[in-house]
Amino acid sequence: MKKALITGVTGQDGAYLAEFLIKRDYEVHGIKRRSSLINTSRIDHIYQDLQEENIRFKLHYGDLTDSSTIIRIIQEIQPDEIYNLGAMSHVQVSFDNPEYTTDVNAMGTLRVLEAVRILGLTKKTKIYQASTSELYGWVQEVPQNERTPFYPRSPYAVSKLYAYWITVNYREAYKMFAVNGILFNHESPTRGETFVTRKITMGVARIALGLQEKIYLGNLDAQRDWGHAKDYIEAMWLIMQQKRPEDFVIATGVTTKIRDFVEMSFSEIGIEIEFFGMGVDEKARVTNCNNPDFYIEPGKEVVAVDARYFRPTEVDLLLGNPEKVKSKIGWYPKNRLQDLVKDMVWSDIKAATKEQHIRGNIAGY
């Protein structure tokens, strides 16, 4: 039985990956930070009590800023594969917390690589580094592939640039199986609530059920190459199963504006909208409502721009070229953007319906 260690196991990707690996007969270990409230909702369905027999999924308290704990956990587990997914992953927040972001994302990656080297596991343990399309930043060519030069545009992206290169360096210096997956944006119903897609699908669901008035957004013209996290998890694993350690771009090859994602999300539940106005005064209103379950009066304003969500330096356009992974590994995304929107919107409608019932019950008292 192979053993895998996942940093960032409580996050969107970590949780999907843990489930994926358990299904493939791995013994899965996850590193979790201590928090004052339990934050394991994404992995509760695979959690096993320590008292159970044949435990296949185990959590360890640890933090990427704490090298002694990282070393101890890796020594204890002796993993065949490490997926380093832990990160301060929010681009906007990285402008507010640049030093912490660098410590976790850049130094944290070094700590994992060094732990494997110090423990003499360079021949046994493979390492996957969660690299990102944010590295391309101010894009130097369209679409972006494995040879496109990087131009990071945020403290987050700069920290990930260090992580990318230190992974390459350890591969070359110590002949380790250490690889970068350069993943373009990938989303799901469990995406963090402050990333733009989830903010939109939650907003659409809550507006449709009368729980929220408007969605306030920043740059509506940014373009992203969005895929489904479930597909991207499989790509991570496949990269780790190759004979030679190599870096791969994982993307769909389709890019979409934020404003189009908003339109698609409303449209999914039969609500048509139109944008009007310019710049910070731009808004969107309902033009037509074809769904009696979620009736919204035409003319109602449902989206507005709030300049507080603009970034000091923006990444305007990301579009990946997944040719290498397609031809070398045979990976391609199974879900189209329309499938992703559907999955996210209906999951959020379900959550909002529950919230509505709870509010109704409280009001009933």
Catalytic residue among 101, 102, 122, 132: 132
Query: What tokens appear for 87 in the block?
Result: 């990160």
Contact between 322 and ligand NAP (CB under 6 A)?
no
Of 50 and 278, nearer to ligand G4F (C-beta) is: 278
Which residue type is seen at 303? V
What is d(CA 325, CA 354) in angstroms, rounded to the nearest whole number?
Answer: 40
Applying CB under 6 A, the span of 22-30, 232-240, 309-317, 330-338 interacting with ligand G4F comes to 309-317
Is 295 labeled as catalytic in the residue annotation? no
Taking CB under 6 A as the criterion, the residue among 18, 21, 73, 85 binding ligand NAP is 85
Distance between CA atoms of residues 321 and 141, nearest Å: 11
Q: Which two tokens stand for residue 139?
A: 């894009």
Q: Which does 65 bind (CB under 5 to 8 A by kind): ligand G4F, ligand NAP, none?
A: ligand NAP
Selected catalytic residue, list 81, 134, 263, 268: 134
Query: CB neighbours of 59 closer than 8 A, spacing ≥ 6?
Result: 9, 29, 30, 31, 32, 40, 43, 47
Least distance to ligand G4F from the beta carbon of 362, Å?
29
Region of 75-83, 163-171, 246-254, 307-315 interacting with ligand G4F (CB under 6 A)? 307-315
Strand partners, 6: 30, 83
* Cβ proximity to ligand NAP, 107 vs 305, nearer residue: 107
CA angle 125, 129, 132 (to 5 degrees): 170
The yes-or-no answer on residue 132 being catalytic is: yes
Confirm or reject binding of residue 89 to ligand G4F (CB under 6 A): yes
Residue 46: CA count within 13 A, CB half-sphere: 22
Residue 86 interacting partner from ligand G4F, ligand NAP, none (CB closer than 5 to 8 Å by kind): ligand NAP
Whether residue 155 contacts residue 95, with contact meaning beta carbons closer than 8 Å, is answered with: yes
Q: Assign 176 to helix, strand or coil.
A: coil
Task: Give catalytic status of residue 187 as yes or no.
Answer: no
Q: Give dist(CA 294, CA 270) in Å, integer.
A: 8
Footprint (CB under 6 A) of ligand G4F, residues 144-203: 184-185, 194-196, 199
Residues with catalytic annotation?
A: 132, 134, 156
